Amino acid sequence: MQYLRTRLATNRATPKRRLLTKLLSLISSNPDYEAYLGDVAEWLVEFDEDGLPSREIGLDRNGQPVLAGPDGRNYGFWLDTNMTLGDFDDRETISQNTFEEKWQAWHNEVG
């Protein structure tokens, strides 16, 4: 496994919770992500042996997890793309321990 930190895809605006947005979240592969994507300042991404994303954590400006996947309802932002490890030009390698600490923090927060 390889782990990285990236700021790619962190310039998204938080969607307004209008009826259409709510309806679209019902058919989304990441229904719980939509409201928090605008809060993501950086991503931590785990890649498998084939260079494909396998888990991800979105962190806010304070370094706190605001979303993580995949889980029972959310497939994952990066998992839902065709990007591989080689596509991340701005990557910074992080340790498995760093990733696992944030993963555990997220799961402690959401129960």
Q: What's the mean pLDDT in 99-109?
A: 93
- Output the pLDDT for position 32: 78
pLDDT tops 90 at residue 37: no
Q: Greater confidence, 111 or 67? A: 67
pLDDT in tens, 39-90: 999 999 999 999 999 999 999 999 999 999 998 888 889 988 889 999 998 8
What is the C-alpha to C-alpha distance for residues 68 and 107, in angstroms, rounded to an integer? Answer: 9
- How many other β-carbons are positioned within 10 Å of the β-carbon of residue 51? 13
With a cut of 80, say whether residue 107 has pLDDT above it: yes
Higher-scoring residue by pLDDT: 9, 2: 2
- Share above pLDDT 70 across residues of the chain, in percent, rounded to a whole number: 83
CB 76 within 8 A of CB 98: no
Q: What is the pLDDT of residue 78?
A: 92
For residue 107, give the H/E element and its range: helix 96-110
